[in-house]
Amino acid sequence: MAGMESWIAETVKHPDLVVQSRTDHSVHLCHRFQETEKFGDKWLCVVIKYKPDDAFIITAYLTDKIKTGTVIWHKPQ
């Protein structure tokens, strides 16, 4: 994900879809569609852990599919 820091920040600020993790309800998966020449069209998924007084990014990765779970928010069409 080196060099994709701005994509990660944009995904956290303006996701297309946010899904709650099926295994840990304090974890949200923020998805944003990215069109890239290098990797093709992919979803960027930023995994965020929320605590009562803090939040932090666990990981980020490119994927072909949105992960399953309870949809918390989606961008209006």
Q: How many CB atoms lie within 10 A of CB 39?
A: 11
Q: Phi and psi of 22, rounded to 5°?
A: -75, -25
The model's pLDDT over 47-77, given as tens digits with 9 standing for 90+, comes to 999 999 999 999 999 999 998 889 999 999 8
Query: Which uninterrupted H or E stretch holds 6?
Result: helix 5-13
Report the C-alpha gap between 35 and 43 in whole angstroms.
9
- Whether 18 contacts 4, CB under 8 Å: no
Strand-pair category, 27-36 with 17-20:
antiparallel
Give me the pLDDT at residue 67, please.
86
The model's pLDDT over 12-48, given as tens digits with 9 standing for 90+, comes to 999 999 999 999 999 999 999 999 888 899 999 999 9
Question: Residue ranges per domain, the chain?
Answer: 5-67
